[in-house]
């Protein structure tokens, strides 16, 4: 009997209450067990760039301490490698560490699209491009699951900002939804088959993702063939019964049992079919059985080999943005000034929030440079006079700058592209003292570089993981030839971004008026100047492209290394629609990439397979993918703005209508109200900030603040400024219903209803409701 058959047999023996109990977690990290039938629980743990298995007291924000694990570079970094094999290798390593920790499902990767460079959680995501995000997401999922460990692909879907993430609505037209925001998920589901999918907090076109049947059943299961478990993001559930009916299997964390009782009551009263509950229970039992089948009683991993892999990942993913006069790699005779706390005392190597890994060990760049034989002197950069003096006495100055934890984190979005003033001042002080300045940027997203034209070199390290210091040192010394390419555009200003004015404001409904024109699709279609384009990155060698050919199913190009040292080139394939297209299109879209390593003088033919989807768009009128007939252009580039050759390809197809970009028209429905209701009547989706003027609101704020103080007062916990700012922003923007989930059963729905009645001026009814809920 296979697992599916076993699950069906087990569910037949479950009582209604037992089936309902499976639908929520036993605690923060475990599924519910049914001891009567020997159904154990399975453990899940945060990822996605390592394993965050909490020890002792648990929480879902990453504040309480977790067991040491290898901290690999996050997705924002490894995406720049454009290397499927590297992501698969990292996935295997994470899977090994999960197996050793008896964890059955790793909560990751995240393949949400970087709609704005200001999204606070962008460091967890791969790209502004869905093809790249899907390819790399599939690679890491396959790697993790090859070890018998499940993954949870997240956050499904339209979760592209942190502000009001638990109550905001993403208003996305159907073409943009399918072509941009769902495309990466589709790729991973169909090719890598993740064990679970995590739904997002937000609404998508008016319906919470946790109860969105179009997303969770019609598209995910019926169209894409997903047969795994859909799990909620932690405390994302709005209406549990609607969630089960829509296809949400597992609510996390534990609901205190009250949502289980609501499910059972709905079945008894006919509000939910028992068949739907049985399907959910079967999927959950199957997940547990699969988890148990793959558990290893004793498993170890090679700590040092994982650290070396993390170092390799940083070195292969860092992007050399500028190298005037070949200032890099460093000369063996150079006396080098290393300036900035990120270089030694306080390396920035990952983001803040639920993905925060407790690293086994941490390298810093200064120490690694010294180990590699560099004659280096260090200063923290806090004192401008010291910076000036140290820089003036060096041949080359390395300035380490970027974004501290409190600038980018889960839970809040940035408000500008600017670096901290102190970091810019440190760079300016070095420039004033020495013309040979190289800036090493450590950040999880694009930043403004007002000094760009006055430094000779810029190495974008992003966030390098625990071995990032060694990976950066390898590039600076020439031990490794840089090969990273930008997985997102660096704009000149935030006003240039496609969603400017429709991102992370106080609106309840966020309108995606740019439609499909996200990232380079926007900048390149409008020919808008940028700081650095998508796909861009320099090397210590150079490459020639020749012999271009393409047809409807494949494309070829020959790439040669015409420099003096070995190196890797990311060859990018872009497709442009017919010039006479009757539907709006981006000027070109990434539809293939290959990373090739070449010795000096070596050449190689690079071949791409072109799927039908490379030429299709989503037809909102027929609700299907459609090919428009005509002459397409297949282009080969070293970046999205460095096209080395192109071939015209005739594609058969048809289109029966013309369509221009008018968001109000293509949205296809009445747009929801944008503004939030900031007064009475209050409901369960009001935030703590909304009720701060009420006596109950002030009391709840005190309780929450006291709980935070207790957590942050523990010296063993993550208590830096980034976590404190994340906690503050998250708490004030959390809906009241979610506090019920976090209250360990102290605030069940009936009691919350009573509180809402009291706040809405119906004190007697509210007090009676609360009394009856005791």
Which of 580, 562, 569, 689 is closest to 633 using CA atoms? 580
The structure tokens 């950069």 sit at 381
Measured CA to CA in angstroms, residue 595 lies from 84, 487, 604 at distances of: 9, 14, 11
- Cis status of the peptide bond prior to 681, with omega within 30 of 0: yes
**Residue 654 a catalytic site member:** no
CA–CA distances in Å: residue 80 to residues 128, 318, 328, 439, 489:
12, 7, 19, 18, 11
The radius of gyration of the chain from alpha carbons, rounded to an integer in Å, stands at 26
Please answer whether residues 576 and 555 qualify as being in contact, where contact means their C-beta atoms are separated by less than 8 angstroms: no
Nearest Cα residue to 105 out of 154, 165, 57, 67: 154
Give yes or no for a contact between 569 and 559, defined as CB atoms under 8 angstroms apart. Answer: yes
Q: Which of 46, 129, 233, 690 is catalytic?
A: 233
- As a whole number of angstroms, the distance between CA 716 and CA 632 comes to 58
**What separation, in Å, do the N-terminal and C-terminal C-alpha atoms of the chain show?**
46
Cross-strand pairs, 637: 572, 643
d(CA 656, CA 375): 68
Q: Are 629 and 577 in contact (CB under 8 A)?
A: no
Query: Residue for token digits 């799927």?
Result: 611
Distance from the Cα of residue 208 to its chain's centroid: 20
Angle at 537 (CA atoms; ends 533, 540), nearest 5 degrees: 155
SS3 338: strand
Sheet holding 457-460, edge to edge: 319-323, 457-460, 437-442, 396-402, 335-339, 375-379
Query: What is the Cα–Cα distance from 766 to 685, expressed in whole angstroms?
Result: 17
> How far apart are the C-alpha atoms of 763 and 642, rounded to whole Å?
67
Q: Token pair of 49, please?
A: 């760039």
SS3 of 345, please? coil
> How many CA within 13 A on the CB side of residue 44?
35
Contacts of 453 (CB under 8 A, 6+ apart): none
Residue 414 contacts residue 408 (beta carbons within 8 Å): yes
Sheet holding 44-46, edge to edge: 44-46, 105-107, 150-156, 196-199, 229-232
Query: If 0-12 CB within 10 Å is exposed, 13-18 middle and 19+ buried, where does residue 423 land?
Result: buried
- Residue 76 CA to chain centroid, in angstroms? 8
Instruction: In whole angstroms, give the CA distance from residue 683 to residue 685.
Output: 5
Interacting residues of 728 by C-beta distance below 8 A, sequence separation 6+? 708
The catalytic residues are 233
């Amino acid at each position: 009997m296979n697992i599916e058959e076993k699950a069906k047999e087990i569910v037949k023996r479950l009582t209604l209450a037992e089936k309902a109990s499976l639908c929520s977690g036993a605690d923060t990290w475990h599924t519910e067990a049914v001891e009567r039938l020997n159904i154990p629980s399975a453990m899940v743990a945060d990822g996605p760039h390592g394993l965050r298995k909490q020890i002792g007291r648990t929480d879902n924000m990453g504040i309480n301490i977790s067991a040491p694990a290898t901290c690999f570079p996050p997705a924002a970094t490894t995406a720049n490698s454009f290397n499927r094999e590297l992501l698969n290798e990292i996935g295997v390593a994470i899977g090994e560490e999960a197996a050793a920790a008896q964890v059955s499902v790793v909560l990751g990767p995240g393949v949400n699209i970087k709609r704005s460079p200001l999204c606070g959680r962008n460091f967890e995501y791969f790209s502004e491009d869905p093809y790249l995000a899907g390819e790399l997401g599939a690679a890491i999922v396959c790697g993790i699951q090859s070890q018998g460990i499940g993954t949870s692909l997240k956050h499904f879907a339209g979760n592209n900002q942190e502000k009001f993430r638990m109550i905001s609505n993403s208003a996305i037209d159907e073409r943009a939804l399918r072509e941009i925001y769902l495309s990466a998920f589709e790729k991973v589901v169909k090719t890598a088959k993740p064990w679970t999918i995590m739904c997002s907090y937000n609404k998508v076109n008016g319906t919470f993702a946790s109860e969105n049947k179009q997303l969770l059943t019609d598209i995910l299961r019926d169209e894409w063939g997903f047969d795994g478990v859909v799990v909620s993001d932690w405390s994302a559930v709005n209406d549990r019964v609607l969630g089960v009916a829509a296809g949400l299997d597992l609510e996390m964390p534990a609901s205190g049992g009250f949502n289980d009782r609501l499910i059972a009551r709905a079945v008894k009263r006919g509000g939910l079919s028992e068949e739907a509950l049985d399907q959910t229970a079967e999927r959950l039992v199957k997940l547990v059985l699969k988890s148990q089948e793959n558990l290893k009683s004793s498993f170890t991993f090679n700590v040092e080999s994982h650290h070396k892999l993390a170092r390799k990942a940083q070195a292969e993913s860092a992007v050399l943005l500028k190298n005037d006069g070949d200032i890099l790699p460093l000369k063996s005779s150079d006396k080098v000034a290393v300036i900035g706390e990120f270089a030694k005392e306080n390396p920035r190597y990952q983001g803040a929030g639920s993905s925060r890994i407790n690293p086994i060990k941490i390298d810093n760049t200064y120490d690694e440079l010294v180990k590699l034989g560099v004659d280096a002197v260090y200063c923290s950069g806090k004192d401008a006079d010291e910076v000036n003096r140290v820089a003036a006495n060096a041949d080359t100055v390395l300035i380490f700058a970027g974004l501290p934890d409190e600038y980018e984190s889960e839970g809040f979005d940035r408000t500008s592209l600017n670096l901290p003033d102190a970091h810019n001042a440190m760079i300016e002080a070095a420039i004033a003292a020495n013309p040979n300045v190289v800036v090493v940027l450590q950040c999880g997203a694009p930043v403004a570089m007002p000094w760009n034209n006055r430094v000779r070199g810029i190495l974008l390290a992003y966030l390098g993981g625990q071995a990032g210091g060694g990976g950066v040192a390898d590039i600076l010394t020439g031990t490794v030839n840089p090969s990273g390419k930008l997985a997102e555009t660096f704009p000149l200003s935030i006003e240039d971004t496609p969603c400017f004015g429709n991102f992370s404001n106080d609106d309840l409904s966020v309108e995606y008026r740019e439609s499909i024109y996200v990232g380079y699709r926007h900048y390149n279609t409008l020919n808008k100047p940028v700081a650095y384009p998508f796909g861009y990155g320099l090397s210590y060698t150079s490459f020639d492209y020749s012999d271009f050919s393409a047809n409807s199913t494949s494309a070829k190009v020959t790439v040669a290394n015409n420099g003096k040292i070995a190196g890797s080139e990311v060859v990018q394939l872009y497709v442009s629609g017919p010039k006479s297209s009757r539907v709006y299109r981006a000027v070109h879209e990434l539809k293939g990439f290959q990373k090739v390593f070449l010795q000096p003088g070596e050449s190689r033919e690079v071949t791409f397979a072109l799927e039908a989807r490379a030429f299709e768009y989503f037809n909102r009128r027929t609700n299907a993918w459609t090919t428009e007939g005509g002459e397409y252009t297949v282009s080969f580039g070293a970046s999205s703005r460095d096209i080395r050759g192109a071939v015209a390809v005739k594609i058969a197809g048809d289109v029966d209508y013309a369509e221009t970009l008018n968001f109000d028209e293509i949205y296809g429905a009445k747009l929801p109200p944008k503004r939030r209701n900031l007064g009475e009547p209050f409901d369960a989706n009001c935030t703590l900030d909304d009720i701060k003027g009420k006596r109950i609101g002030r009391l709840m704020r005190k309780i929450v603040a006291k709980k935070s103080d207790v957590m942050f007062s523990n010296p063993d916990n993550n208590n830096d400024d980034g976590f404190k700012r994340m906690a503050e922003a998250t708490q004030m923007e959390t809906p009241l219903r979610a506090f019920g989930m976090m209250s360990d059963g102290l605030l069940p729905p009936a009691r919350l209803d009573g509180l809402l009645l009291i706040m809405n001026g119906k004190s007697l009814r509210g007090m009676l409701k609360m009394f009856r809920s005791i």
